[in-house]
Amino acid sequence: MPRPRPLLYLDVDGPLNPYAAKPERRPDGYSTHRMKPEGWLAQHGDTPAHRVRPLRVWLNAGHGRRLLELGESYDLVWATTWGAEANTFIAPVLGLPELAVVGWPTMHDAGPDGTFWKTRHLVAHAEGRPFAWVDDELDAADRAFVAAHHDGPALLHRVDARLGLRDEDFAALDAFAHALRRRAPEVC
């Protein structure tokens, strides 16, 4: 029986929305979108939704095509605090279909061994399947945790939140998928 398809965990803020770029210097290829997801509205307490200033989100429509191409090798999964709202707000702009979403049991709590809070949840979600993960908050502690607690191959790919996904990021994801395809299928 062949190996299961690898997962590609997608964060929104940082990789797809380079929020850390200077406000007056939107990166090339990105367009500005104003959005009011529930998570954003919740940060404004009792302020009525019509009075909340929309969240500025920069998205590159070309990333949708590139992600769809990667979808030939990966199962694409939202791994973002946007949750299911990534399908409502982000996917349509990028031309993506509705994607699976990681349901976070907890958010923003301290991870073990100095890891990012998402790390242990993604290892559990993957259930040993190979995966690649693009996020702007990854470091050596996360890589060490995944190496120690995940039975399959994994690529933790950090993306600069000032730049968003770039050609070299897509190339790294493609190379990882290609390397997985070259491996001999496991026998059951």
- Per the structure block, which two tokens stand in for 4? 């299961």
With a cut of 80, say whether residue 185 has pLDDT above it: no
Rounded to 5 degrees, what are φ and ψ at 123?
A: -60, -45
- The model's pLDDT over 21-71, given as tens digits with 9 standing for 90+, comes to 987 788 889 999 999 998 888 889 889 999 999 999 999 999 999 999 999
- Gap between the Cα atoms of 173 and 168, Å rounded: 9
Query: Helix (H, G, I), strand (E, B), or coil: what is residue 123?
Result: helix
Q: Please name the residues in contact with 79: beta carbons below 8 A apart, sequence gap of 6 or more.
A: 9, 10, 11, 102, 118, 122, 133, 135
In the chain, the N- to C-terminal Cα span, in Å, equals 6
| pTM of the entire predicted model | 0.91
- The model's pLDDT over 89-121, given as tens digits with 9 standing for 90+, comes to 999 999 999 999 999 887 677 777 888 889 999
- Gap between the Cα atoms of 162 and 158, Å rounded: 12
Rounded to 5 degrees, what are φ and ψ at 171?
A: -65, -40
Query: Helix (H, G, I), strand (E, B), or coil: what is residue 26?
Result: coil
- Per the structure block, which two tokens stand in for 79? 């791994």
- Sole residue written with tokens 């050609």: 167
CA dihedral 179, 180, 185, 186 (to 10 degrees): 120
